[in-house]
Amino acid sequence: MWIRSALVKMIEGLGSGFKVVGEASSGEEAWYMIQELWPSILVTDIMMPTMNGLDLAKHIHAYKLPIVTVVISGYDEFEYARQAIRYDVSDYLLKPVSEEQVQQALLNSKERLYSLQDEQAYMFKVREFLDQLFLGDGVQLLKMVTVLISSILRMKGARPGVRLGFLRIIAGRLNELIASLDERFSAPPMPENTEDKVIIRYFEMLVIAWLERRPLYAGGEASHTIKQVYAYLEKNYMNHLTLSAAADHVHLSPSYFSTLFKQYTGETFVNYLNGIRIAKAKILLVDFDIKIYEVAELVGFASLPYFNRVFKQVTQMTPKEFRNRLMS
């Protein structure tokens, strides 16, 4: 947490137009967040629980996502570097990293992003479609998936495997959503190396299967699930919480949980949790006998710098400025 917080502060202090859109404490959580936030650049440590940084880079490489990866490691080992090269990692930085090294890595990433602009445009189209799965009209969703799959199949100048990567992401999310509502559902494998109309028909079939089952959540079950999460967060906000733990609490897969949570709250899980923590922190800050670093610990932040940064993001002032305003 300390290293991550310092790195975020370093990146945002460079003044080169970079903005940190999310943080994760494990590779698995990062992979789910990537499919929710669709960042342009990933900066990852190698040593992380549940899925390490190289496995995360491997996932991005396997799906050919137009995301530039920068790896940070405490190990100067050839095997790690060799794997990083295999997964098309942009930079491999050794700890402790300096501000100059981070800046150069981001500038290198920026240059590489120029060649991925067209692919990124399609990535955002995929995101737009997935965001509409809970809310979109049935006829509209069928039109959207037809247009989207057709345009992906007709992509020009894309790297080998990019089209297939996008199709796998969409098929995987649809299959997971359907299976979460109907355990008996088993979709046939996605057709490859065949006529476009066959592939389009496959995705239309998945959307229809989803629309047939989507009403199961309209009866209040989803609302009940989210209310369970609200109660869980209110009771445990001061502890180390992850998206995976919250998903497990309501017996959902992390990927499906993150989609459902965002659709019902309009926020990512991390942002919502931080909102609760900051609200609780404001109450504690009224008591001037409690030190600011103690407030940070009491509401679940592992470091004071991270607490300060999130507090300012939410309230547009630091905890100290908030306290000073109370005194004036």
Block mean pLDDT (10 aa), the chain, length 328: 80 80 85 87 90 93 94 84 90 91 92 91 91 84 96 90 94 88 86 92 95 74 83 92 87 81 83 94 93 94 84 92 86
Cβ neighbours of residue 64 under 8 Å, at least 6 residues apart? 159, 160, 161, 162, 164, 165
DSSP one-letter string for 196-219: HHHHHHHHHHHHHHHHHHGGGGTT
**Residues 317 and 17: beta-carbon distance below 8 Å:** no
> Three-state DSSP class for 259?
helix
Give every CB contact of residue 295 below 8 A, 6+ residues apart in sequence: 281, 284, 285, 307, 319
Q: Please compute, for residue 129, the number of CA atoms within 13 A of its CA located in the half-sphere on the CB side.
A: 26
pLDDT value of position 134: 81
Alpha carbons 74 and 3: distance in angstroms, whole number: 12
Residue with tokens 């190289």: 54
Tell me the pLDDT tens digit for each residue of 243-273.
888 988 988 878 778 878 887 888 888 889 9
Burial class (CB in 10 A: 0-12, 13-18, 19+), 297: middle
For residue range 15-54, list pLDDT tens digits in order: 777 888 888 888 888 898 888 888 999 999 998 888 899 9
Q: What is the pLDDT of residues 75-98, one digit of tens each?
A: 777 788 888 889 999 999 998 899
Structure tokens at 205: 């079939």
Give the global pTM. Answer: 0.76
